[in-house]
Amino acid sequence: METNFTHHQSAHCENGVASNLLKHNGLNISEPMVFGIGSGLFFVYLPFLKVNYAPAISYRPLPGLIFNKLAKRLGLKIKRQKFSNETNAVKALDENLKNNIPSGLQVGVYNLTYFPDEYRFHFNAHNLVVYGKTETDYLISDPVMENVTTLTHEELRKVRFAKGAFAPKGQIYYPIQIPEKVDLKSAIIKGIKNTCRDMLAPMPIIGVRGMRLVARQIRKWPVKHGTKKANHYLAQMVRMQEEIGTGGGGFRFIYAAFLEEASVILENEKLKELSKEMTAIGDLWRDFAVEASRIYKNRSSKEDVYNTIADQLLAISSKEEVFFKKLKLAIR
């Protein structure tokens, strides 16, 4: 069985699945729109949580949050199910496909056989759509891939029941109710306000303050942990910022694209200006990645290089602080 689902490639998996599922259900909404309304732009530093033996730095909120916020702000109803029993999880998915409902799935990356080996880590917050089933395979639309692909029944079982942090527990989700008319304008404003609040939050590990904390830590890394570990930490940070899914510059370019689209819908010229500014900030993040890669490529052991890169991060955080204050005013 196969549902008449159209695959569109996207930068980030969660936005992509949301956008593709909504398009399938007749609501034409772009990936940047999903990202912006769902307040996907974020920064958090969790030194006590280690991912691949490095402190966790994330440029996005917890998995599932973007789609949930989007649904709330547009008045959509999303059904989400998790399973403790693997057989029931298979049944529920097959039932959906029988009823012509393509379903979003949270999966682990490690057993996704169509990914290059280098990308197969124990990361459990990946999203894809299953739109059909054959005797041996499930038909998969993975939004970060150019084309649709397949997984065998056993392979899909493995990725749905991957273990570890954020274990997907076979989670499936799909929209069950979409209002005839959605109020994009108010949803956009709510999304922007939420993002400004997050990025300017008076918390040391979140938003621009989080960036500053990381900048301070970067200066200490080589002294405290030695250059080898410091370089590993930096490499991990760049991976979180640039790896498949962020659309470049730690999601800044997707967000700029959202602001551009929002400026047309809200008829607000200021947002178009701010979109350009966000693009410039995204370019600064790219420069930061280039500079960081020079450090761990040359394995330079001078303390100074870490100070230089920390200064760079500090400069970005100041730019973003000004930016989000302006953005807050622009939608008043």
Instruction: State the Cα angle at 162 between 129 and 14, rounded to 5°.
Output: 35
283 binds another protein (CB under 8 A): yes
Subset of residues 245 to 264 that bind another protein, contact rule: CB under 8 A: 247-249, 253-254, 256-257, 260-261
Q: Smaller CB distance to another protein: residue 207 or 282?
A: 282
198 binds another protein (CB under 8 A): no
CB of 64 vs another protein, minimal distance in Å:
19
Query: What's CA 314's distance to the chain center, in Å?
Result: 23
Q: Smaller CB distance to another protein: residue 85 or 99?
A: 85
Q: Smaller CB distance to another protein: residue 137 or 283?
A: 283
In angstroms, the Cα distances linking 50 to 56, 57, 161, 167, 324 are: 6, 9, 22, 16, 29
112 binds another protein (CB under 8 A): no
In angstroms, the Cα distances linking 128 to 17, 152, 191 are: 6, 15, 24
154 binds another protein (CB under 8 A): no
Tokens (6 digits) for 159: 């990725």
* Phi-psi region at 268: left, alpha or beta (left = phi > 0; alpha = psi -120 to 50): beta
- Contact segment (CB under 8 A) with another protein among 58-66, 71-79, 132-140, 161-169 equals 161-169
> How many whole angstroms separate alpha carbon 273 and alpha carbon 256?
10
Residue choice 4, 84, 118, 304 for contact with another protein (CB under 8 A): 118
Residue choice 82, 163, 216, 224 for contact with another protein (CB under 8 A): 163
Asked whether the beta carbons of 259 and 36 are under 8 A apart, the reply is: yes
Half-sphere exposure of 250 (CA within 13 A, CB side): 31
300 binds another protein (CB under 8 A): no
> How many whole angstroms separate alpha carbon 256 and alpha carbon 36?
9
122 binds another protein (CB under 8 A): yes
59 binds another protein (CB under 8 A): no
306 binds another protein (CB under 8 A): no
- Contact segment (CB under 8 A) with another protein among 48-56, 78-86, 98-106, 192-200 equals 48-56
CB of 41 vs another protein, minimal distance in Å:
13
Length of the chain: 332
Half-sphere exposure of 137 (CA within 13 A, CB side): 10
Tokens (6 digits) for 36: 């912006």
Q: Smaller CB distance to another protein: residue 98 or 163?
A: 163
> 285, 292, 284, 293: which is closest to 308 by C-alpha?
292
Residue type, 25: N
Provide φ and ψ at 147, rounded to 5°: -125, 170
83 binds another protein (CB under 8 A): no
**Interface residues toward another protein, by CB under 8 A:** 9-11, 32, 50, 52-53, 110, 116, 118-122, 144-146, 163-165, 167, 231-232, 235-236, 238-239, 242-244, 247-249, 253-254, 256-257, 260-261, 275-276, 279, 282-283, 286, 289-290, 292-293, 296-297
